[in-house]
Amino acid sequence: MHILVVEDEVRLARQIAAALTEAGHDPLVVHDGEVALQATLETPFDLIVLDLGLPQMDGLEVLRLLRAQHVASRVLILTARGQVSDRVTGLQLGADDYLPKPFAMQELIARVHALGRRYNEEPALMLRVGDLTLELINHTVCRGIRQIELSARELMLLKVLMREPGRIFTRTELCERVWEHAHEYDTKLVEVFIGRLRKKIGEPLLIHTVRHVGYTIRESGASSDSPQK
Ligand code: CA
């Protein structure tokens, strides 16, 4: 895997890189957050090993900006002893795993491999329409950097729409996909849930009504027909 290592302790960074290389990976080492962000804009990484204790821009800020810029790379955070709240915040911000310092290199490699396996099982990590993102691993939905809380059904409905942006789904089709074998084959239900989703997702409108047909999700202006509520 192509791995970005963000660690300001030069010696530790070098040891991590050596261990990753030995395990067959392709690491790039940087020592501060801004350089890390720059690197992720230039090349996609499969995984980012991110130390939280960095000078200037700390690791949590780096993580927040990465996710805000829709960088979908796996993130393994390294936390110093006593940084429990940072660890929790890190996971909430979309880190995939954490490793408390000090750690044995075998432990790091094991975590990296575990994340790699998960990565291979789920090639699409994130669904995206405009600035709306849905992370498939932890079901985090964000509009830009604003996180949106959805119920299980709302999430399912959004996922169906987001898997095929621009495709028009009929109400019946959405009902079948989301409510499956439930007896409530009432397409009114779809309308209610679409309404809730729109309210939570906010403006500009992403879920569009296609008159007499159904619904589609796409960025406003991504197609010629005018958006209708
Ligand atoms: Ca550090």
- Residue 214, pLDDT > 60, answer yes
In angstroms, what is the span from residue 23 Cα to ligand 1's centroid?
A: 23
Taking only the tens place, the pLDDT of each residue in 24-74 is 999 999 999 999 999 998 888 999 999 999 998 999 999 999 988 888 889
Domain 2-120 has CATH 2.30.30.790: no
Fold of 126-217: Arc Repressor Mutant, subunit A (1.10.10)
pTM as predicted? 0.54
Whole-angstrom distance, CA of residue 163 vs CA of residue 148: 18
Whole-angstrom distance, CA of residue 186 vs CA of residue 190: 8
Task: Express as a percent the part of the chain with pLDDT over 70.
Answer: 89
Q: What's the confidence (pLDDT) of residue 153?
A: 87
In angstroms, what is the span from residue 13 Cα to ligand 1's centroid?
A: 10
Whole-angstrom distance, CA of residue 198 vs CA of residue 211: 17
- For the chain, residues classed under CATH 1.10.10.10 are 126-217
Mean confidence (pLDDT) of the chain:
87
Whole-angstrom distance, CA of residue 129 vs CA of residue 217: 8
Q: What's the confidence (pLDDT) of residue 124?
A: 63
Q: Greatest CA span in the chain, whole angstroms?
A: 64
* CB-based contact 79:50 (threshold 8 Å): no
pLDDT band at 224 (very low <50, low <70, confident <90, very high): very low
Whole-angstrom distance, CA of residue 79 vs CA of residue 102: 9
Protein residues within 5 Å, CB atom, of ion ligand 1: 8, 51, 53
Residues recorded for the chain: 229
Helix and strand numbers (H, E) in the chain are 8, 12
In angstroms, what is the span from residue 60 Cα to ligand 1's centroid?
A: 12
In angstroms, what is the span from residue 101 Cα to ligand 1's centroid?
A: 10
In angstroms, what is the span from residue 137 Cα to ligand 1's centroid?
A: 28
pLDDT band at 225 (very low <50, low <70, confident <90, very high): very low
